[in-house]
Amino acid sequence: MDSPFGLLAELTYRCPLACAYCSNPVNLAGYSGELTTDEWRRVLAEARDLGVLQCHLSGGEPLLRRDLVDLVAHAHGLGLYTNLVTSAFGLSRPRAEQLRAAGLDHVQISVQADEPAVSDRIAGTPSFRRKIEAMGVVKELGWPLTVNVVLHRHNIDRVAGVLGLAEEVGADRVELANTQYYGWAWRNRDALLPSRAQLAAAEVVVRAARERLRDRMDVIYVLPDYYSRYPKPCMGGWASRQLTVTPNGDVLPCPAAQSLPLPRASVREESLERIWAGSPVMSAFRGTDWMPEPCRSCARRELDFGGCRCQAFLLTGDAARTDPVCHLSPDHHLVARAVEAANAASPGGDRSLIPRPHRVRRVER
């Protein structure tokens, strides 16, 4: 077992957007009892003592926490590298200047498309203009800027425009991440999964952009699992390198693991060190001893660790099954069936999306 180097601090699941691909839990009401400022300070200190180097402040929308500046300052004082993962809805210049003074190291801003009407429709609220303005503020204040775009059936055909937008705003890095099907995205999978033709066209554009922009901007392109021959090595191995703390203090090996039927572990009841070292939720799928066949005898078992446990559970009802994305899985037909349906549907998608509910109420801390 290694010490984790990354902490995803999900400060709140409240968000002004209503993205249908959101991976946050569907049962948002179960996370209303958010950790207080003092509780988050303790979590950050315990994370540093555990070996964490990077702290990603996320949500939901972390800017809805009134204590965000204070938490950034505390993390900075502990020596953690801090990254704000935000929709930028609410990132005004005064707030940005406060965060800069507090020691925030990096800003990652999501955008849903390269054109206002399309982006706002996918986000479920007018937000595109604010995002572009916030990107300008980020660059003016000297932060590194990552532009993140979650790709799916409704925007993957606009990859060229998205790359042009990232170049125009001076992004240092752009993440083109095909949707991972958890939370609300799982509910909307059939309407979001792109076709093979869409993926092929997007890859041509991305390859050309990588070559053209190689000295100016990192272009990260994450393929959708459903079209891969082998599954991704989820989080570098279960409870190996990363951990997530949810708004109510639950500790997970990855952001989507709240869907699994595993015993709960909370920073309100135990220290982060004890949870990381010995809690059932962290030890359930650590290493390779838990693996069934065909993973147990597979030469790739130390490369992809059996794939994603959350994906296996959502598709089969058993978190210990081989990830059905793998072509060797006895359940691979479940993924093949979904891919077949996606390629039979009309290019623009012929199913309506279920939007994530808006939750924007601020909580005093």
Q: Which residues are annotated as a binding site for [4Fe-4S] cluster?
A: 15, 19, 22
Contacts of 336 (CB under 8 A, 6+ apart): none
**Rounded Cα–Cα distance for residues 329 and 311 (Å):** 13
Among 111, 154, 106, CA closest to 131: 111
Pairing between β-strand 145-151 and β-strand 81-86 as defined by DSSP bridges:
unpaired
Helix (H, G, I), strand (E, B) or coil at 86: strand
Q: Which helix (H) or strand (E) holds 243?
A: strand 242-245
Q: Tell me how far apart the alpha carbons of residues 310 and 131 are, in angstroms, rounded to a whole number.
A: 31
d(CA 42, CA 267): 9
Sign of CA dihedral 167, 169, 170, 172: negative
CA of 296: how far to CAs of 83, 235, 293, 322, 329, in Å? 37, 19, 5, 10, 12
CB 322 within 8 A of CB 295: yes
Going by the annotation, the residues of the binding site are: 15, 19, 22
